[in-house]
Amino acid sequence: MSSVNLDLRRRLDEVDASISELQATRWALVQHLNLALAGTKRPLLSKFSDELIAEIFMHCLEPYSRITTHRYAPMLLLHVCRAWRSIALSTPGLWATLNVDF
């Protein structure tokens, strides 16, 4: 190999080593950040009372809409988590509309 090729190969190896070192540093920082954030993660709605959450759910309803699929409120609310399911099922206003097709 020529000296130019050897020099380029050496420089490439140095860059690869630097990249590996930076990736290891980044990984360590991400792990540190995840640990720091682990104690602060709480669902926003968990800070509110069930009554307030139920009122928010009522505002999710489309006026005069038909419940035809689980992709819309109130059916969608049943599939988020256990707490939301419980609140939605215990909120009669979400289920006050009855649609009958003839």
For 78, what's the count of Cα atoms within 13 Å in the CB-facing half-sphere? 13
| Residue environment code for 50-60, b if the CB has 16+ CB neighbours within 10 A, otherwise e | eeebbeebeee
- Per the CB < 8 A criterion, the answer to whether 52 and 86 are in contact is no
pLDDT of 25 above 80: yes
Specify the range with the lowest mean pLDDT, choosing from 26-35, 39-48, 74-83.
39-48
Residue 12, both tokens: 């490439």
The domain spans of the chain are 1-41, 44-95
pLDDT of 17 above 60: yes
Task: With cut-offs at 50, 70 and 90, classify the pLDDT of residue 76.
Answer: confident
Better-scored residue on pLDDT, 102 or 14: 14
Distance CA 37, CA 9 (A): 42
Distance CA 6, CA 10 (A): 6
Task: With cut-offs at 50, 70 and 90, classify the pLDDT of residue 1.
Answer: low
Whole-prediction pTM: 0.49
